[in-house]
Amino acid sequence: MTTIKLQPNQKVANYGTTHQYQRKTGSVNYAMVITRPDIAKTTSELAHS
C-alpha cells in the first residue's frame, strides 16, 4: 500500500458528491471505531478535509 496525498477537490462540489463523500468517510469511521485502530489516522485525515 503506497501512500497518496490528500488533494483538494478541483471540481465544484455539489450536494450529491458531498453527500457521497460524507457517506464513505462515515463508513470508514465506523470500521475504525469498532475493530480497526490501524486506520485511525487515515480516518481522521479524511474527516478533516
Partner 1 sequence: MVEANRCIQYLYGSRKLSILFDGKRQFEREFEIFTDTSFADNLESRRSSQGWLMKLYGGPIAWNASRQGTVTTSSTEAELLGLSFAAKETMAVARLFSGLRFHLDQQLIIWCDNKQTIRLVSTELQRLRTALRHVDIHQCWVRQEVQKGTIKVEYIQTSNMTADGLTKILPKASFKTFIQQLGLVERVQIKSSE
DSSP notation for 29-43: HHHHHHT-GGGHHHH
**Helices 15-34 and 40-48 sit at what angle, rounded to 10 degrees?**
160
Tell me: does residue 19 bind partner 1 (CB under 8 A).
no
Q: Establish if 8 lies at the interface with partner 1 (CB under 8 A).
A: no
Residue 36 contacts partner 1 per CB under 8 A: yes
Least distance in angstroms from the C-beta of 37 to partner 1: 4
**Which residues here bind partner 1, judged by CB under 8 A?**
1-4, 6-7, 9, 17, 20-21, 24-25, 27-28, 31, 35-46, 48
